[in-house]
């Protein structure tokens, strides 16, 4: 196995392999105690390869059983093989077939990369570098090959045999065994290889493409869970239809299979024709899944399906280009959900995720560009920067070009690069060439880390009827990038007059302005609007048109004016957030809040709640004040999480205590006996009702805690039951402990529901939570090898419980580093991901900062960490 001492890999050093594997035949013989893999690789030298150039194939924990070229066994002096690779010293300088045989032990593969077993099912995960754990190979994304796979297994253990592509043969193999042969005619990189063998149930359906082809659809799962897959199937069919309508992309194989497994490091994997999913992103029924679960299933099913074109048919040349497939596909799944549900609510939700997860990453020790220029461990770059910021970059491109021109560029991209492994530069060139534009400066978004600040100043001159708007951009230094270049910022905007209506102007100068879009491509610009009849209030960055932090001296009055009158729903929500944030920061610094300002925000919240023009989902979001992590980030340095927690509690009480009656009326009015449905109207009703309950409990309204307990006991669906539980535990009500115990008794036999109990337990902002988690982990029945259970418990604690994770006594830090040290030997990816919770440590006040440093230094001193964890640890400490 490779170690963390290996050298850093640089983009500038990229070069194609001197050899190419064009076709692969794999033969898996599956037994209960091991799996034999015979590989036949059709290999040819690339043009210009010199005679005697060695062929170096990747391997990881492999043991070579046999090796031959064109059927002739190789002598020992012709090659060198070890667990980490296979080298042929002087392969033929012509096309040849390399045959190898290895034996795998999937049962003991706790890393969950390569071939492993999950609850008895054989399955694979090969992205990014898992295929080398199956056979020796050029395990890199720029080697595209066709695959033909034969699997033989005992019928009793594995009646279902699946792989990429189309099923071309199957039958009996004697002695209680059977076989299946799958052929994938589309060349793909090895990271998209997949196979599954097991005793599985399924649901089946079909989809007819725009050209009239019938595609057979199936979702495989553990027996008894078939009915929990219906929403996933519905989401798949809607995704396929949407991609045809919106982007003209039609599915290309005869079958599309999904398999749900319980042990999986990621959310899902887009393997060609055989998507493998974490079962939490497939299984749903009202009694055990929340609205958030239904939303996540719909979104991720769509995301993995959309990869068929943006990731599979066109893939990335090297792992530095990971954002090419992931950022583009996240943008596509965001657009799908926006079209299926509420565009405004989806945008607010996505930006909230961006600010909670990606902005801290971009502003901390783990900051990196959307396309990094070096890495030690590629698994550590499956980040919110690559995914969510990558999607924001694509969204800005779409904003700058407009929908029709964006589609024109994307069509050219597919036309040019179908069946290829390509780069960010080629992606941007397609849009530039299709539309006759220069995107050289725009490319900087992919190359530069950090979240830009957009500074705003304005002035109105009544005498000349002139409105001046000054915009200036600045990106703070990040690790390895002390100097920053100006970016292209698309700033969607509007001017609103005193009566709340849009305002026009007779002329504008100072920067490029296209209707409602300002294009800021310099360090600063002063726009001068003439013919403005009265002082406007500027609504800037509508729809959050660029991923920046706005720094403005706008008054509370102007912000509340926007909250009431802005035609852009995102900026109405943003205005309330800005007012709440300003009050929270002031209260942290000055002990008490301005009574008049608090009253004004309270009235604005009441107006929002009462507005008949706003939908329930939007109201639920609008009635949410900035959370503790966002407040801490706004303060920026020397933060005291305990103080922030107390201040936010005070702020919630001050703003919402006067709204107790309308909140209670809203809660009662939204009660419903209708059967559960995951449609937008129903989810919006539940969201607002549960928000009202949460605010009543948080503001200590009389009888609210009892109301939460009653909702928990009588809930007809998991959304309402879990909401009541989380509200009670978060407020540490008298009833909370009993509700937690009851929840575990009711649902402890369902692992995915148990994850919810683990997360609520770990997120409780009270003393004693660490002892509770230690007790859970010490339980012999706790599945310490399952990523879902570990992430739900310790991941939630490190990422979402700032008061207890950052305890002044350092106990939270030591608990997490102790967990990381133990789990790293089992599953390095889980350990490394949990460790990223420490990215906030440089912002903490001095005593907490030193406690965090001590815990991290002690972990580093152990000296036996995986490369995954050692890389995250070194970069975190360097910050």
Q: For the chain, give every domain's residue range.
A: 1-198, 200-280, 314-441, 453-546, 553-702, 750-879
- Rg (the chain; Cα; Å): 28
Residue 661 is encoded by which pair of tokens? 């009656």
How far is Cα 102 from Cα 83, in angstroms, rounded to an integer? 11
- Cis peptide leading into residue 179 (ω within 30°): no
Q: Does CATH place domain 750-879 in 3.30.750.24?
A: no
Neighbours of 733 (CB within 10 A): 19
Contact present, 723 and 690 (Cβ < 8 Å): yes
Q: Which CATH architecture has domain 200-280?
A: 2-Layer Sandwich (3.30)
- Which of 728, 807, 721, 735 lies closest to 771 in space, CA to CA? 807
Secondary structure class of 179 (helix, strand, coil):
strand
Q: Give the pLDDT confidence score for residue 2 in this predicted structure.
A: 36
Which are the contacts of 829, defined by CB distance < 8 A and separation ≥ 6? 111, 112, 113, 265, 379, 787, 868
Secondary structure class of 151 (helix, strand, coil):
strand
Residue 714 is encoded by which pair of tokens? 């009588």
What are phi and psi for residue 340, nearest 5 degrees? -80, -30
Contact present, 345 and 617 (Cβ < 8 Å): yes
Neighbours of 707 (CB within 10 A): 19
Which are the contacts of 550, defined by CB distance < 8 A and separation ≥ 6? 453, 454, 456, 540, 541
Owner of token pair 């509340």: 560
How far is Cα 410 from Cα 248, in angstroms, rounded to an integer? 10
Q: Which entry of 304, 335, 388, 543 is annotated as an active-site residue?
A: 304
Residue 523 is encoded by which pair of tokens? 């360090």
Contact present, 608 and 577 (Cβ < 8 Å): no
Q: What is the largest CA-CA distance in the chain?
A: 96
Which are the contacts of 436, defined by CB distance < 8 A and separation ≥ 6? none
Secondary structure class of 211 (helix, strand, coil):
coil
DSSP string, 416-479: HHTTEEE-HHHHHHHHHHHHT---TTTTHHHH--SPPEEEEEEEEETTTTEEEEEEEEE---BT
The helix (run of H) or strand (run of E) holding residue 745 is helix 736-747
Task: List helix spans (H) across 657-717.
Answer: 660-669, 680-698, 704-714
The beta strands (E) that lie in 475-609 are given as 489-496, 507-509, 512-514, 517-520, 524-530, 537-540, 549-552
Domains 314-441 and 553-702 share a fold: no
How far is Cα 835 from Cα 821, in angstroms, rounded to an integer? 10
What is the CATH number that goes with domain 453-546? Answer: 2.60.40.1840
Residue 133 is encoded by which pair of tokens? 């754990």
Q: Give the pLDDT confidence score for residue 879 in this predicted structure.
A: 79
- Which of 348, 338, 343 lies closest to 575 in space, CA to CA? 348
- Which of 552, 545, 658, 550 lies closest to 601 in space, CA to CA? 658
Residue 551 is encoded by which pair of tokens? 């720094």
Residues of the chain with pLDDT under 50: 1-5
Q: Give the pLDDT confidence score for residue 3 in this predicted structure.
A: 38
Owner of token pair 């909230």: 352
Which letter does DSSP use for residue 614 in this model? S
CA torsion sign, 385 to 387 to 389 to 393? Answer: positive
Q: Which residues pair with 21 in a beta bridge?
A: 43
CA distances from 35 to 71, 123, 194, 826, 844 (A): 22, 12, 15, 21, 50
What is the CATH number that goes with domain 1-198? Answer: 2.60.40.1730
Q: What is the pTM of this model?
A: 0.98
How far is Cα 253 from Cα 272, in angstroms, rounded to an integer? 9
Which are the contacts of 596, defined by CB distance < 8 A and separation ≥ 6? none
Fold of 553-702: Zincin-like fold (1.25.50)
How far is Cα 810 from Cα 213, in angstroms, rounded to an integer? 61
- Which of 442, 529, 545 lies closest to 491 in space, CA to CA? 545
Q: Is residue 304 flagged as an active site residue?
A: yes
CA distances from 601 to 125, 645, 661 (A): 50, 19, 17
Q: Does CATH place domain 314-441 in 1.10.390.10?
A: yes
- Which of 339, 340, 338 lies closest to 349 in space, CA to CA? 338
What are phi and psi for residue 527, nearest 5 degrees? -90, 135
Contact present, 184 and 147 (Cβ < 8 Å): yes
How far is Cα 499 from Cα 522, in angstroms, rounded to an integer? 34
């Amino acid at each position: 196995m490779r170690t963390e001492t290996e050298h850093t890999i640089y983009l500038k050093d990229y070069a194609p392999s001197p050899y190419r594997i064009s076709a692969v035949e794999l033969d898996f013989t599956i037994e209960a105690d091991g799996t034999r893999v015979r590989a036949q690789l059709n290999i040819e030298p690339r043009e210009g390869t010199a005679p005697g150039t060695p062929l170096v194939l990747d391997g990881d924990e492999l043991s070579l059983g046999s090796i031959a070229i064109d059927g002739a066994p190789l002598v020992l002096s012709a090659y060198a093989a070890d667990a980490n690779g296979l080298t042929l010293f002087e392969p033929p300088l012509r096309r040849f077939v390399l045959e190898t045989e290895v034996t795998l032990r999937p049962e003991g593969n706790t890393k969950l990369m390569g071939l492993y077993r999950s609850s008895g099912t054989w399955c694979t995960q090969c992205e990014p570098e898992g295929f080398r754990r199956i056979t020796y190979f050029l395990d890199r994304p720029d080697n595209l090959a066709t695959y033909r796979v034969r699997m033989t297994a005992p019928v009793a253990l594995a009646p279902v045999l699946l792989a990429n592509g189309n099923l071309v043969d199957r039958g009996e193999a004697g002695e209680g065994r059977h076989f299946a042969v799958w052929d994938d005619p589309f060349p793909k990189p090895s990271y998209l290889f997949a196979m599954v063998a097991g005793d599985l149930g399924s649901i089946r359906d079909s989809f007819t493409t725009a050209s009239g082809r019938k595609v057979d659809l199936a979702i495989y799962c553990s027996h008894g869970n078939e009915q929990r897959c219906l929403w996933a199937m519905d989401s798949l069919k809607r995704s396929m239809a949407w991609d045809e309508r919106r982007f003209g992309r039609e599915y290309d194989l005869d079958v599309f299979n999904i398999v749900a497994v319980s042990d999986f490091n990621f959310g899902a994997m887009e393997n060609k024709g055989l998507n493998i999913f974490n079962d939490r992103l497939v299984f749903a029924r009202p009694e055990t899944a929340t609205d958030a679960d239904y939303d996540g299933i719909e979104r991720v099913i769509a995301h993995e399906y959309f990869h068929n074109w943006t990731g599979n048919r066109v893939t990335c040349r090297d792992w530095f280009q990971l954002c090419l497939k992931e950022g583009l596909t996240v943008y596509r799944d965001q657009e799908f959900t926006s079209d299926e549900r509420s565009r405004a609510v989806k945008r607010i939700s996505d930006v909230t995720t961006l600010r909670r997860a990606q902005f801290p990453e971009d502003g901390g020790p783990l900051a990196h560009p959307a396309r990094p220029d070096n890495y030690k461990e590629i698994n550590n770059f499956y980040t919110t920067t690559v995914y969510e910021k990558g999607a924001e970059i694509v969204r800005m491109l779409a904003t700058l070009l407009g929908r029709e021109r964006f589609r024109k560029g994307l069509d050219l991209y597919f036309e040019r690069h179908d069946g290829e492994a390509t780069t960010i530069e080629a992606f941007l060139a397609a849009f530039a060439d299709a539309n006759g534009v220069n995107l050289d400066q725009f490319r900087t978004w992919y190359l530069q880390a950090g979240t830009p600040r957009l500074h705003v100043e304005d002035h109105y001159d009544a005498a000349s009827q002139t409105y001046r708007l000054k915009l200036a951009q600045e990106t703070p230094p990040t690790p390895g990038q002390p100097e920053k270049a100006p970016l292209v910022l698309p700033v969607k905007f509007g001017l609103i007059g005193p009566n709340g209506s849009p305002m026009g102007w007779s002329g504008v100068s100072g920067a490029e302005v296209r209707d409602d879009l300002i294009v800021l491509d310099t360090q600063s610009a002063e726009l001068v609007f003439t013919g403005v009849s009265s002082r406007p209030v500027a609504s800037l960055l509508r729809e959050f048109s660029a991923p920046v932090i706005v720094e403005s001296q706008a008054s509370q009055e102007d912000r509340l004016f926007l909250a009431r009158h802005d035609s852009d729903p995102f900026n109405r929500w943003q205005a309330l957030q800005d007012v709440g944030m300003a009050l929270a920061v002031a209260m942290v610094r000055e002990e008490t809040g301005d009574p008049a300002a608090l009253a004004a925000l309270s009235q604005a919240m009441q107006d929002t709640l009462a507005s008949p023009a706003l939908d329930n989902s939007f109201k639920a979001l609008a009635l949410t004040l900035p959370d503790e992590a966002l407040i801490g980030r706004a303060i920026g340095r020397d933060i005291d999480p305990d103080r922030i927690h107390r201040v936010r509690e005070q702020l919630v009480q001050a703003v919402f205590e006067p709204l107790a009656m309308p909140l209670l009326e809203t809660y009662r009015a939204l009660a419903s006996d209708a059967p559960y449905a995951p449609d937008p109207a129903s989810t919006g009703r539940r969201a607002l009702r549960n928000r009202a309950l949460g605010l009543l409990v948080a503001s200590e309204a009389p009888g609210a805690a009892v109301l939460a307990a009653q909702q928990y006991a009588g809930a007809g669906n998991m959304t309402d039951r879990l909401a009541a539980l989380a509200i009670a535990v978060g407020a540490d009500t008298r009833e909370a402990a009993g509700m937690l115990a009851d929840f575990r008794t009711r649902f402890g036999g369902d692992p995915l529901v148990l994850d919810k109990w683990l997360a609520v337990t770990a997120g409780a902002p009270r003393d004693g939570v660490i002892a509770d988690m230690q007790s859970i982990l010490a339980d012999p029945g706790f599945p310490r090898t399952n990523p879902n259970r570990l992430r739900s418990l310790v991941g939630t604690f490190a990422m979402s419980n700032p008061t207890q994770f950052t305890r002044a006594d350092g106990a939270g830090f030591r608990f997490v580093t102790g967990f990381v040290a133990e789990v790293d030997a089992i599953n390095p990816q889980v350990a490394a991901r949990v460790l990223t919770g420490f990215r906030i440590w440089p912002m903490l006040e001095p005593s907490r900062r030193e406690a965090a440093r001590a815990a991290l230094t002690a972990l580093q001193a152990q000296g036996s960490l995986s490369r995954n964890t050692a890389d995250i640890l070194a970069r975190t400490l360097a910050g």
